[in-house]
Structure 1
């Protein structure tokens, strides 16, 4: 007799899995905005003093960029799930690599120490996406 390790799917299970990733994306945006606000309250002005044109990183820009990155991450994971059995492992490695690489440009901006620290914290906050999107390991 063959034993199958199939996970029973009910409408509740399907609904929960269907909502998990959009909820993870929304949670990532909210956590990032919360960290942005904490940085502002701690004295970060989010002003990048570029000689050509100074740039202020607003809460709105932070939310939009976080949303775009989260949706791209979700799309990459969905694509990997279609082409490989090791999607979760590959995606996690890629997500961590992208997170690390996203930190390097902060070294090269001209900004106050408070702004630089806040930018690092905001980038780290996006890491919430990694466990939020990852498929559960049953």
Structure 2
């Protein structure tokens, strides 16, 4: 019996990016999704993206810098959690997907502090896009 790998399988394995590169791309795509939503909503559609941080405080203007920072930091923390879970348990990805899904749903409480319906919708779409893209990317990177 020949134990050589078929050329097709070998080519597929060589063309796959390393796991860390796939995951980094997932983080960047999640951030890009949030940025695209912000660009469509704020400069193009004219949504005034403001939210209340604390009662009695001034409204916070949610600018592109805040969107990029949040859309990079949170997914990077999620990636770190996934890496930790994969090291300490055999079901790391499964646990992470559940945690990430719950976190994404809980994050929808944040948009409720927006001042207008348009701002609320925009923020909710950004939260769902970042969570959805990141979850899909991490699942895909784990299936090697």
The structural deviation recorded for 1:133 is 1.7
- For residues 42-66 of structure 1, the C-alpha deviation after alignment (integer angstroms, 9 at most, x for no partner) is 2311122564211100111110011
Instruction: Give the one of 43, 61, 65 matched to 1:60.
Output: 65
Q: Which runs of 5+ in 1 are unaligned?
A: 1-6
Q: Which runs of 5+ in 2 are unaligned?
A: 1-8
The structural deviation recorded for 1:11 is 8.1
Q: TM-score under structure 1 normalisation?
A: 0.83
Q: Which has the higher contact order (CA 8 A, sep 6+)?
A: 1
The structural deviation recorded for 1:112 is 1.2
**2:39 matches 1:32:** no
The structural deviation recorded for 1:106 is 2.2
Q: TM-score under structure 2 normalisation?
A: 0.80
Q: What is the Cα-based RMSD across aligned positions, in Å?
A: 2.3
Partners of 2:19 and 2:142 within 8 A in 1:
no
Assess, with a 3 A threshold, how the Cα gap between structure 1 residues 68 and 60 changes in structure 2: closer, same or farther.
Answer: same
Partners of 2:48 and 2:119 within 8 A in 1:
yes
In structure 2, the residue matched to 1:46 is 49
